[in-house]
A and B are shown apart, each in its own frame.
Chain A
Amino acid sequence: MADKIFRVNMTDLSTSIEDVPADWAGHGGRGLTSNIVAAEVPPSCHPLGPNNKLIFAPGLLSGTAASNSGRISAGAKSPLTGTIKESNSGGTSAQRLAKIGCKALIIEGQPKDDSWYSLLLTPEGVTISKEEELVGKGNFAVVETVEKRFSDKIGILSIGQGGEMLMTAANISVKDPDSHVRSLGRGGLGAVMGSKKIKFIALDAQDGKVAIADMDAFRAANKIFTKALVDHPVSQALGTYGSNVLVNIINEAGGLPTKNFSAGQFEGHEQISGETMHDIIVERGGKPTHGCHAGCVIKCSQIYNDLKGNYKTSGMEYESIWAMGADCTVDNLDQIAEMDHIMDDIGIDTIETAVAFGVAMEGGVLEFGDSEEMIRILTEEIAKGTALGRVIGNGAGSVGRTYGVTRVPVVKNQAIPAYDPRAIKGIGITYATSTQGADHTMGYTIATEILGVGGTADPLSKEGMVELSRGLQIATAAIDSTGMCLFIAFAALDDGTCLPALIDMLNARFGINLTAEDVTNLGMSILKTEHAFNTAAGFTNLDDRLPEFFATEPVAPHNAVWDFSGEEIDTFWNF
């Protein structure tokens, strides 16, 4: 069966299944969500109004046996940034959607009354039902209840209280193979889902399978691809320590934003490091190595248990740990794990929310390092939607404006993640020029600047950084379309067999003849489509700038400032 577009209109509660227009046929994941947003969402619409659309798309290879191909993309106009947004995540939903035969799910309109709804997708189509029981509940209760209603095989996309209350830090949770959750984290897409009054989407693939045009060629290419991933030493380190292995090296390089970006090194770095986390996990009988979806061979995720050896949280990323840790000067991993768990349940982005806490600490709302008070605010204020809870739940920019703080680390109102752009300059170009606000994953220059993967570049020099960021942003847009986890990029940058094998898999899946150049062109066209949407929404080159304090406040230990001129940044778009 050919893949179809599933469309749901929440204004009149109608659904339809449509053929895929020729223009979208070659797209998947981010390329598809961004093209649909560009084609169907008026750039000037209110992100939480009836004219915005929420789109889910599995990657081009999702649902196949291709290693690490189970990433799902969600797209819309972002209520946090006002730009186009694509957020992607692991979990089981991409594979379920692909097996349902759904190339994209488009949710449009808005109910006129106050009722909440759920969606059920099967290969036959979409059913819309009223939902009462789960309204006001967190994501873990949703997953537990929905599995009981259907089966534990069901895929689930859901929002917690954050999304229901339309907070711009709200994310969309994606059930993982162990019935825990991963997150479509950034840009407030949970609020868009909440504005459509959808509490959860259940995905029942039944016995659906993904068609492959040339199975022998596909298997052969997947074998080469998998070997490249497994053999790369970065993959091995990720499996052991998770992405949190970065705390110590970014700290050593002087680029670990500390105490709301007022320093570049954190005294408590060792206590929150990947090495310490690994030892704690092993000691308490957790799992240091864990995949966010079946088919991942890198397995950067982990199961973190509490002091008594009971499950506490999973899938803690470096950026989350940094945000709650160094940025708020909390040096206790158990407290961080507790907060991670609470934020997963409420359904709010760990980066946006924790950076918002850092700004709130600067503004005197609470003391730096006071993790007990952070936990209280999460459960008593944010989850319950008090005034303070909403100020923080609307992100770092919201807190800065409310409390008159000038050191507010955001670009296009989205919180800057775990790498200081004064000490690691290439990543600053990515933050400034990304079509989606500050986001390290859009063009991960850290690989080259700090980790020495894919070449080397001096992180304190401006030399070549615009080109580095541009090349990576183009490649990333393409990778985000395939359903591949971005962590394949380390092998792709170093091992010459990796990318050709990936392209061979795409060709074998669809019976086509893509070349490496086609893939680069795909990446460029996605960036240009996203950029054009933002321009039509009112953004200009003057929005591609970092906050002023980066230019005026030197950061220790290198006493570096952000010294790119506007003209230099603007050359990014010369392609």
Chain B
Amino acid sequence: MQVQVKLFAFFRENRFIKEDRELPNGTTAGQVVDELDIDREEVGVLMLNSRHCKFDTVLQEGDIYAIFPVIGGG
């Protein structure tokens, strides 16, 4: 299946901003994080189609999946 993966802040360094990735059915949000060699401890927020999700959320064909480090502001 195809999923669009988006990275933010320093997760982009030596990786990418946005990429369409071919993933096996049943891939979880956490597996994509691991595959990208991102430390789960550094992850702040995961969003699937503009809604917060968790490491064990299963991705679906056509999903837009965003991975953010711990960030803040205001």
Contact = CB atoms under 8 A, between A and B. Distances in A.
Interface of A: 233-234, 237-238, 240-246, 248-249, 252-254, 270, 274-275, 300, 317-318, 440-441, 444, 446-447, 450-453, 456, 458-460, 486-487, 490, 557-558
Interface string B57-74: 000000000101111111
Given A249-B45, A452-B44, A452-B45, A238 B72 contact: yes
Nearest to A319: B74
A245 B71 contact: yes
A394 B8 CA distance: 37
A446 B52 CA distance: 13
A557 B66 CA distance: 15
B47 A252 contact: yes
Contacts of B71: 233-234, 237-238, 241, 245-246, 249, 451
A205 B47 CA distance: 50
> What class of interface size applies to chain B in its complex with A?
20 to 34
Contacts of A452: 44-45, 52, 70
Given A241-B71, A318-B73, A275 B44 contact: no
B45 A450 contact: yes
Nearest to B66: A252
A240 B51 CA distance: 26
B42 interface: yes
A245 B10 CA distance: 11
Nearest to A242: B73
B23 interface: no
B9 interface: yes
Contacts of A456: 52
B40 interface: no
A243 B44 contact: no
Contacts of B74: 243, 246, 318, 440-441, 444, 446-447, 486-487
19 contacts: A233-B42, A234-B71, A237-B71, A237-B72, A241-B71, A243-B73, A246-B71, A246-B74, A249-B45, A253-B47, A253-B50, A275-B8, A447-B72, A447-B74, A452-B52, A458-B52, A460-B51, A486-B74, A490-B72
B69 A233 contact: yes
Nearest to B49: A557
Most buried by A among B66, B68, B73: B73
B13 to A, nearest CB: 10
A557 B50 contact: yes
Contacts of B42: 233
A248 B52 contact: no
B70 A234 contact: yes
A447 to B, nearest CB: 7
Contact of B50 (A241, A300, A441, A558): A558
A558 B71 CA distance: 23
A233 B68 CA distance: 12
A245 B9 contact: yes
Contacts of A490: 72
A458 B71 CA distance: 18
Contacts of A274: 9, 73
B73 A240 contact: no
A242 B74 CA distance: 10
B12 interface: yes
Contact of B44 (A248, A451, A557): A451
Nearest to A318: B73
A242 B44 CA distance: 17
Most buried by B among A245, A254, A317, A459: A245
A453 B44 CA distance: 9
A380 to B, nearest CB: 33
Given A252-B47, A252-B50, A557-B50, A233 B9 contact: no
Given A233-B42, A240-B9, A275-B8, A246 B47 contact: no
A244 B6 CA distance: 18
A440 B74 CA distance: 7
A539 B70 CA distance: 39
Nearest to B8: A248
Given A300-B73, A456-B52, A237 B9 contact: yes
A319 B19 CA distance: 29
B72 A240 contact: no
Interface in B1-46: 6, 8-10, 12, 17, 42, 44-45
Nearest to B43: A452
Contact of B73 (A244, A270, A275, A459): A244
Given A240-B10, A248-B8, A447-B74, 12 more contacts: A237-B10, A238-B71, A243-B73, A245-B9, A249-B8, A252-B47, A270-B17, A275-B9, A459-B52, A460-B51, A487-B74, A558-B50
Contacts of B45: 249, 450-452
A446 B71 CA distance: 11
Nearest to A248: B8
Nearest to B73: A243
Contacts of B50: 252-254, 557-558
A254 B48 CA distance: 12
B72 A453 contact: yes
Contacts of A441: 74
A441 B69 CA distance: 22
Nearest to B71: A237
Contact of A237 (B6, B12, B52, B70): B70
A248 B72 CA distance: 12
Contacts of B66: 252
Contacts of A453: 70, 72
Nearest to A249: B68
A38 B32 CA distance: 56
